[in-house]
């Protein structure tokens, strides 16, 4: 297990020209699970999310509606994007907006540094630009003259721009990938990034002309910084003003880890480290690239019109159930298909039966057989079972294996269910002579559920404390609580209300 003591994690910053769908919620949920877990381990954590607002589309749409672009984005951010994290039960430490004045000033300082270090020159750009991607696109990538992902005809652009000498970073980047095999995870993504670098890097235009929306190039304010450069810098700029009056760069930058989707691999794994090196900053500690959630085998996205609205799902199943489903349904890092049916099924079978019923049965037996007391006895589970749980969850999350972590917890939950079935407490209760054995069984269940709740707390932040509460246990989520025999005596336990009450199957499930 890697001993991490400072953990700074970022999500991509989301484009404001769309509304949040489950694909965006996915990255935020996974990031929150990881950060909460590190908090439980007592690490010094920082969790950043936010919005990417200088896309040229934004300005065009605002103009069409006769609105000032900033007024337009203010509304969208407050209505749609800032609420996303709390909606999915995530607790970021800071929400950055690229229209923040502090961020804009920092971007200017950053590109100034690039220029001072000799990495910028003036040139003419002529070529195609895909507004959907907010990147230049080559003829060879087009299908029937259109961007294959967005189905739109790219714009031809010819303008005088400022260029970044990406080509001169090829050797430095190859060295980085050689020296740090876990710089990009999973490994197949690292290979993908390395091949892009090996194939040769072209300088790119870091500015755009004739656009009033964006961060002006300091020495040539008629041009604005290309939106991707502006956006990537957020990970660093946020640390300079997230805490008023404090600069958190020294504390967190050396420990930064980025969580991204596979569509933005090149920008994060090739361009971003080069920009950082160029400006004199250290490169990130790690970049984890996750796959897509697919619906009907197609990426969930607004452009494709197969959006699943996280609001709808959470309204029905609750944030914890959606987090559980996102973490467990698709092996984190791979692409995987999801459906509303699979959410419903996991909700009933795993959350409702495996976990919810285990708590209901345990508390009902405490109420019935022990007048609501938790007896203190010896656990009948081996310490090894707890040690395995602790190490497997922490070990998985150390390598961003969000799915491996929840799978390990679920095996433990299922082993508790098997333990109830095998030890038949309802039979033991029939004969007073079995009282010490029944005490042990009840204690084993309380203690096992308690440890499971602590292990689950990063995945199910609402449910875990209510499990501890229902069992009369202190709500202490410290990671070392995932151990044998930590349950304490308690009184006044009532049969708990269902953790995951029945809900109607989704209409589309028919
Ligand atoms: N604004 C850029 C990121 C700039 S970061 C310096 C951007 N924004 S985005 O809103 O389009 O996408 C944000 C994240 O959501 C990306 O990591 C993307 O992969 C993720 N997802 C969007 N749809 C997704 C799925 N259907 N499945 C999983 N994640 C996907 O790109």
| Position 309 pLDDT exceeds 80 | no
pLDDT digits (tens, 9 = 90+) for 235-262: 999 999 999 999 999 999 999 999 999 9
Return the structure tokens found at 174. Answer: 């190859």
Residue 145 has a CB neighbour count (10 Å cut-off) of 9
Testing ligand 1's pocket by substitution, the residue of 18, 24, 299 carrying the most ligand atoms inside 8 A of its CB is 24
Element (H, E) at 293: strand 293-295
**Atom 5 in ligand 1: which residue has the minimum CA distance?**
12
Residue pair 258/268 in contact by the 8 Å Cβ criterion: yes
The band of 509, judged by pLDDT with boundaries at 50, 70 and 90, is very low
Note the pLDDT of residue 19.
86
Compute, in angstroms, the gap from residue 24 CA to the centroid of ligand 1.
6
Looking at ligand 1, which residue's alpha carbon is closest to its atom 16?
261
Q: What's the 12 CA to ligand 1 centre distance in angstroms?
A: 7
Residue 506 is given by DSSP the state P
- What pLDDT sits at residue 329? 93
Neighbours of 386 (CB within 10 A): 23
Sort strands 184-185 and 286-290 into parallel, antiparallel or unpaired: parallel
pLDDT of residue 383: 97
- Mutation test residue for ligand 1: of 18, 23, 265, 338, the one with most atoms within 8 Å of CB: 23
Q: Which pLDDT does position 510 carry in this prediction?
A: 34
Domains and CATH numbers, the chain: 6-308 (3.40.50.620), 338-481 (1.10.730.10)
pTM: 0.94
328 CA distance to ligand 1 centroid (A)?
20
C-beta separation of 363 from 490 below 8 A: no
Looking at residue 508, what is its pLDDT? 53
Following CA atoms 326, 330, 335, 339 in sequence, which dihedral angle do they give, to the nearest 10 degrees?
-70
pLDDT at 422: 98
> pLDDT-based confidence at 283, cuts 50/70/90?
very high
Supply the residue whose CA is at minimum distance from atom 22 of ligand 1: 23
Query: For residue 238, how far is its CA from the centre of ligand 1 (angstroms)?
Result: 19
- Give the number of the atom of ligand 1 that is nearest the alpha carbon of residue 300: 26
Condensed to tens digits (0 to 9), the pLDDT of residues 440-460 reads: 999 999 999 999 999 999 999
Has residue 1 got a pLDDT over 60? no
Q: Which of 238, 264, 275 to mutate to test the pocket of ligand 1 (most atoms within 8 A of CB)?
A: 264
pLDDT at 507: 62
Taking only the tens place, the pLDDT of each residue in 151-178 is 888 988 888 999 999 999 999 999 999 9
Ligand 1: centre distance to CA 460 (Å): 23
Structure tokens at 326: 């996102």
Determine if residue 333 is left, alpha or beta; phi over 0 gives left, psi from -120 to 50 gives alpha, anything else beta.
Answer: left
From ligand 1's centre to the CA of 264, what distance in Å? 7
* DSSP state letters, 208-261: EES--SS-EETTEEEEEE-HHHHHHTHHHHHHHHSSTT---HHHHGGGEEEEEE
Ligand 1 surroundings by CB, under 6 angstroms: 12-15, 23-24, 26-27, 52, 231-232, 260-261, 263-264, 292-293, 299-301
* Residue of 13, 14, 273 to mutate, ligand 1, most atoms within 8 A of C-beta: 14
> Residue 68 is encoded by which pair of tokens?
């000032």
pLDDT in tens, 491-504: 999 999 999 999 98
CB atoms within 10 A of CB 360: 17
Residue 297 pLDDT class (50, 70, 90 cuts): low
Compute, in angstroms, the gap from residue 298 CA to the centroid of ligand 1. Answer: 15
| Residue 243, C-beta contacts closer than 8 angstroms, at least 6 positions apart | none
- Return d(Cα 185, Cα 360) in angstroms, integer: 40
Ligand 1 mean position to 55 CA, how many Å? 14
Residue nearest to atom 25 of ligand 1 (CA): 23
């Amino acid at each position: 297990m890697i001993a991490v003591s400072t953990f700074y994690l970022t999500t991509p910053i989301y484009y404001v020209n769309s509304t949040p769908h489950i694909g965006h919620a996915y990255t935020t949920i996974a990031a929150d699970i990881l950060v909460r877990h590190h908090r439980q381990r007592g690490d010094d954590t920082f969790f950043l999310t936010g919005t990417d607002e200088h896309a040229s589309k934004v300005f065009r749409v605002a103009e069409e509606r006769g609105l000032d672009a900033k007024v337009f984005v203010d509304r969208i951010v407050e209505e749609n994007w800032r609420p996303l994290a709390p909606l999915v039960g995530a607790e970021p430490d800071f929400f950055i907006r690229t229209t923040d004045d502090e961020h804009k000033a920092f971007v200017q300082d950053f590109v100034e540094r690039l220029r001072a270090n000799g990495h910028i020159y003036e040139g003419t750009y002529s070529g195609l630009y895909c507004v959907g991607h907010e990147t230049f696109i080559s003829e060879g990538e087009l299908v029937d003259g259109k961007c294959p992902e967005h189905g739109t005809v790219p714009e031809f652009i010819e303008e005088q721009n400022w260029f970044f000498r990406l080509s001169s970073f090829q050797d430095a980047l190859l060295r980085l990938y050689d020296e740090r095999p876990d710089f990009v995870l999973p490994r197949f993504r690292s290979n993908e990034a390395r091949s892009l670098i090996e194939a040769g890097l072209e300088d790119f235009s870091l500015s755009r002309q004739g656009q009033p929306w964006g961060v002006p190039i300091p020495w040539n304010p008629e041009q604005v910084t290309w939106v991707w450069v502006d956006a990537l810098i957020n990970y660093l700029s946020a640390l300079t003003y997230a805490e008023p009056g404090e600069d958190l760069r020294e504390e967190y930058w050396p420990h930064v880890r980025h969580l991204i989707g596979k569509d933005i691999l090149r920008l994060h794994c090739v361009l971003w480290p080069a920009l950082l090196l160029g400006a004199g900053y250290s490169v990130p500690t790690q970049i984890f690239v996750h796959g897509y959630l697919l619906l009907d085998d197609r990426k969930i996205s607004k452009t494709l019109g197969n959006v699943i609205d996280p609001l709808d799902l959470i309204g029905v199943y609750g944030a914890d159930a959606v987090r559980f489903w996102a973490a467990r349904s698709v092996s984190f890092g791979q692409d995987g298909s999801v459906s509303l049916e699979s959410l419903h099924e996991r909700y009933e079978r795993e959350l409702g039966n495996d976990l919810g019923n285990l708590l209901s049965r345990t508390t009902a037996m405490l109420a019935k057989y022990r007048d609501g007391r938790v007896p203190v006895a010896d656990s009948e589970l081996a310490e090894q079972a707890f040690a395995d749980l602790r190490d497997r969850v922490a070990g998985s999350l150390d390598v961003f294996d969000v799915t491996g972590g929840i799978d390990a917890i679920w095996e433990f939950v299922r082993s508790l269910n098997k333990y109830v079935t095998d030890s038949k407490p309802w039979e033991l209760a029939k004969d007073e002579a079995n009282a010490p054995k029944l005490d042990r069984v009840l204690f084993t269940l309380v203690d096992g559920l308690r440890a499971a709740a602590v292990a689950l707390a990063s995945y199910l932040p609402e449910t875990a404390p209510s499990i501890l509460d229902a069992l009369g246990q202190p709500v202490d989520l410290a990671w070392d609580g995932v151990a044998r025999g930590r349950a304490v005596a308690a009184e006044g336990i009532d049969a708990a209300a269902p953790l995951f009450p029945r809900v109607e199957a989704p209409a589309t499930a028919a």
